[in-house]
Structure 1
Amino acid sequence: MTSPDVAASGSSASAIWNLPNVLTMLRIVLVPFFVWFLVLDAPGLESAAGVWRWAAFACFAIAIYTDKLDGDIARSRGLVTDFGKIADPIADKLLTGSALVMLSILGELPWWITIVILVREWGITALRFFVIRYGVIPASKGGKLKTVVQTAAILLYLFPLTVGTAWLGIVALVVMLAAVAVTVWTGVDYVVEALKLRNAGRAASGNTGDAGDAGDPAAR
């Protein structure tokens, strides 16, 4: 006879190994391959046909598509799990963060852009954990817009033809600057929402404490 603890453990394990979570883990696994392809495309190592750049571009495109795919599947099939809620944003930040850092190392993207975006991304992640005792900050429409613009900008920078085409380079820079603007704007918005959530949580706990004291004769 299977004990309840063993059954619960098995159920938890099966929940983790659902299709959306497997796609999320695949995205994490693709990150080192993506980075390695860009390393092979570094000056002095790149192939004449730009094979490694195309490989990096394709790898990023596939990985970023799994982000949309796992979310759609999880919501449509009711497969949203605690593991997915934690692993999915981590996978996204690893992928976009590694792309930004590698583009800056290759000298194709100014470091200040990479630093601003990474500070915002990881700062907001830390902020979410800090205020989680008061509640969860929901993803906003601005946050989704930020993800779309960031993805478009990175794909433009990774596109092999951008490096040697002046007008494509200008388009990539404009889109990236737009991504920076949206990233900073949504970051400020999240900070405001976090402060509201914290203040509401503190007010609620204060009111609960007052009510408890009023009903306790010993506290009068």
Structure 2
Amino acid sequence: MTEAAARVSNWNLPNAITVIRILLAPLFIWMLLADGGADTPLRYAAAALFIVAIATDGIDGHIARSRNQVTDLGKLLDPIADKVLTGGALVGLSILTELPWWVTAVILVREIGITVFRFAVLSDRVIPASRGGKLKTLAQSIAISLALVPFPALFGSWFDWVNIVTMSIAFILTVVTGIDYLVQAWRLSRAGKSAA
């Protein structure tokens, strides 16, 4: 834990927003699956809840930085909140057969793997999200939001191609940034051994 983060209380507004985002995930998943993914008001409500919950990611970060309330707990919980929401959405879309399971599996393996790695090195350091990781999260958020709102029912089947393109971009960024995290971890580990 850094000295600056140690002086800032973990009980602050940005961390509360992050915890609320985590707690909203089960409600969102229930709403998504309740009507079998049909084009109903509940599906639109699930999509709206996801969009609001994922959009607050930027809000809690902005508040934390502007009020000097950045904490190690916040750095740890914020990516977890993203992963719980996006992971729940991906699994839900796969259950509804709107997204291939292999796409969900690859993304979840990367997300869970990086989260486990963060916890494994927690005693040494907190690894915040990288710029690439933030871009990946943005791409996932956009792709999942577009997939959740039943736009093909509104605009026609051509919109399926929009979903395919945006999800492909998110998938590629997820894989590339996962490899980058592993490379960076290997370099840090190697540098640590060299210093020892």
Q: Deviations over 1:54-112 (max 9, x none)?
A: 10011001101111100010011111123212221111111000000000000100000
Q: Which runs of 5+ in 2 are unaligned?
A: 1-5
Quick check: 108-117 or 121-130, which moved more? 121-130
TM-score with structure 1 setting the length? 0.79
Identify the structure with bigger relative contact order (alpha carbons < 8 Å, sequence gap 6+): 2
Q: Distance in 1 between matches of 2:95 and 2:124?
A: 39
What is the match of residue 74 of structure 1?
64
SS in structure 2 opposite 1:107? coil
**In the alignment, residue 101 of structure 1 is paired with which amino acid?**
V
Q: Distance in 2 between matches of 1:114 and 1:148?
A: 17
Counterparts of 1:89-104 in structure 2, within 5 Å, are: 89-104=79-94
What is the match of residue 150 of structure 2?
160
Q: Identify the match of residue 51 of structure 1 among 41, 59, 63.
A: 41
What is the match of residue 8 of structure 1?
none
What is the match of residue 35 of structure 1?
29
The percent identity for this pair of structures is: 54
* C-alpha deviation, 1:132, in angstroms: 4.7
Q: Which runs of 5+ in 1 are unaligned?
A: 1-11, 206-220
* C-alpha deviation, 1:23, in angstroms: 0.6
Compare CA radii of gyration and give the structure with the larger one.
1
Between the two proteins, the alignment pairs up a number of residues equal to: 189
Q: Deviations over 1:134-184 (max 9, x none)?
A: 645453322121111111100110012235621111110111011111111
Instruction: Indicate how the Cα distance of structure 1 residues 171 and 77 shifts in structure 2: closer, same or farther if over 3 A, else same.
Output: same
Q: Distance in 1 between matches of 2:112 and 2:153?
A: 29
Q: Distance in 2 between matches of 1:137 and 1:78?
A: 18
**In the alignment, residue 104 of structure 2 is paired with which amino acid?**
T
What is the match of residue 25 of structure 1?
19
Q: Distance in 2 between matches of 1:198 and 1:133?
A: 14
Q: Deviations over 1:16-70 (max 9, x none)?
A: 3311011111101211110111122306xx4xx6100110011001101111100
Instruction: Indicate how the Cα distance of structure 1 residues 193 and 114 shifts in structure 2: closer, same or farther if over 3 A, else same.
Output: same
Instruction: Indicate how the Cα distance of structure 1 residues 198 and 75 shifts in structure 2: closer, same or farther if over 3 A, else same.
Output: same
The alignment yields a C-alpha RMSD, in angstroms, of 2.0
SS in structure 1 opposite 2:98? coil
Quick check: 91-100 or 154-163, which moved more? 154-163
Instruction: Indicate how the Cα distance of structure 1 residues 134 and 23 shifts in structure 2: closer, same or farther if over 3 A, else same.
Output: closer
TM-score with structure 2 setting the length? 0.89
Instruction: Indicate how the Cα distance of structure 1 residues 111 and 173 shifts in structure 2: closer, same or farther if over 3 A, else same.
Output: same
**In the alignment, residue 57 of structure 1 is paired with which amino acid?**
A
